[in-house]
Structure 1
Amino acid sequence: MVASIEDVARRAGVSIATVSRALRGLPDVAAATRDRVMTAAADLNYVASPFAARLASGRTTTVGLVVPFVNRWFFAEVISTVESALRRAGFDLLLYNLGDEEGRARFFDVMPMRKRVDGVLIASLVLEDTEFEALTELSRPVGLLGLERHGFLSARIDDVAAARSAVDHLVAQGHRRIGLIGGDTDDPMAFTPPLHRRDGYRDALRAAGLSADPELEQLGYFTVEGGQEAARRLLGLADRPTALFAESDEMAYGALREIRRAGLRVPEDVAVIGFDDQPLSELMDLSTVRQPVADQALDVTTRLLTLIADAADELPRDPAVVLPTELVVRGSSVTSRP
């Protein structure tokens, strides 16, 4: 049977609190008492609970990660990277998947991680001022992934500029009728890519002297099936687009499938470019925008851990980091590569 702290207290003839103080090396324990406790612990092969030690020190060595979804590639990459970085640092991950509008409201109203974490990471959520206030009231360091806010650590890419680079590429190939397969900008979860990537798409059209056409903007909901259905609607237009920009590679995969199902050629009839550069994208010869998901997650996690360790009251001078993206040109958007 594994010995408990109560067993050590009985063997040493002291209280549980005294055992705890003696084992933690606190100064308010007499030398003779400490010796009795240490001898009793050794005799019983007692091993102190790491969880109890955390509570006694006031530290949880746990970081909370808040995500709007767990079943999408981006967030799966974030969760994996953050968990690995925390594990290497001796920290645990406490994951909160908001899931829907009700879950989000409940989370920010109740703040269930209160007193359970040493820091918080928020992934790709557009937050209201009241939600930022709730995070501030936690009195814990907070890191933002995918967005930026004064007074918080953050790591992100420039989604607007990255999306614009994708559409600029299509314009440079001679396309003037360019469709958008995007996420739902009215989604109550309000995560950042659908908003910013749509803005980049529109900026690129405007810069090329092209008018935005609401018919050319279709929702794909960041799924393969959604991308296929959006492509079906776009290809069914009387004046169909000659190129498609999908705000994620999953939606681009669906578009590729629908284009080929319609008997059209890629890129000769319809060019396609995605966003993310997921592992399958090279295999599918998909042009895309490569974003460093793992690098963003690792950067903000590392800096959050530093802030926790330093117990600093102020953020470092440059708390906001913007990582570069890269346009990756493959066969889905050009017949011959540069």
Structure 2
Amino acid sequence: MSLRRAVEWVWYADGALPAVLRAALAPLSMVFGYVVSSRNSRLDRELATAALPAMSIGNLTVGGTGKTPVSSWFAARMLARGAKPAIVLRGYGDDEWRVHQLLTPAVGVTVNPDRRAAMERAKAQGADCAVLDDAFQHRRARRVSDIVLVSVDRFQSPLRLLPAGPYREGWPALRRATAVVLTVKAAGDTDVERVARVVREVAPSIPLAVVRLVPDRVCRVQPVAFAVDVAEQPSTAVFSSCAVTENGNESHEVGWLRDRSVLLTSAIADGDALERQVVSLGARLVRHLRFPDHYDFSADDVTRVVRAAEGAEGVLCTLKDAVKLAPLWPRAAAPLWYLSQTLVVERGAEVLERECDRVLAARDATVPTVG
């Protein structure tokens, strides 16, 4: 069992042993909570004006809420409404910025742990607003919209802070958000209502929306489809929208998966929800090879996946995995596919539009007029 899988077993598993381990870690969680509270008080005093009107997309947990597709969705929405947004992110691993460029190729992506410096760079490149991917806890840069994502699939009650659980902050932190968005992958309506009740009880005045990440296509990945001609990824780089291209020559509706034998591989935070989605589509799952979130695949890892897929009709992964696997994928191996997903707003479309309004109003107030 990998370290990541062991940690998730402690966080989420039922049974006496993981419960004992969580109890043993509880004192450290209390210390962690105190440190977070002190840090938040300090950051409240250190907020600085940002170069661009910004929307933050974040969460309370360690990954698994769908920040990347939601951030891209908001950037695309503001682009459609006449803005020139930039997506700003810290840049964990070598996958997030590539995925953003595939989902929103007309939007510039700036990678830098210093969000304020990143926005200054994006502004110099022509952006007039920013979407901060994973920035709820990165609060030194002021934002006009603060959206928190809560995964229904990974919802945990009672909430447990790190290291006994996956939470960076407790439920009361939702009260400093301008909106809460429940993200759903494989969970049902009953679970959505259960989580919505908890959020309403904790933060009754914060607007709530629900979005579902729905599989819509199965796309063939060519071995060089995602290759990037750069020697390294500078932490402060600004990547053009043409740095990565998606090969769309062969794709199918998700019904194509029914009764097909596939090996599933993933390096994402919530592999369980992905697996449930694939099974619900009728695929015959040979095996699910899991790697840690943001994992940097090696040639040996690819060899392991290819061997495990012998006899299967293909290998299925996510877009986040495909951008890293494609440059390493042997041409003679089983076909590599990724499951494309689309964001469907199930509830609270007006909430999402109001958050865009916040950013666009701030943008209009700062854009100089002629005359």
* TM-score with structure 1 setting the length: 0.40
User: Which protein has the larger Cα radius of gyration, Structure 1 or Structure 2?
Assistant: 1
Q: Which has the higher strand share?
A: 2
Q: Which structure would you say has the larger RCO, counting Cα contacts within 8 Å and 6 or more residues apart?
A: 2
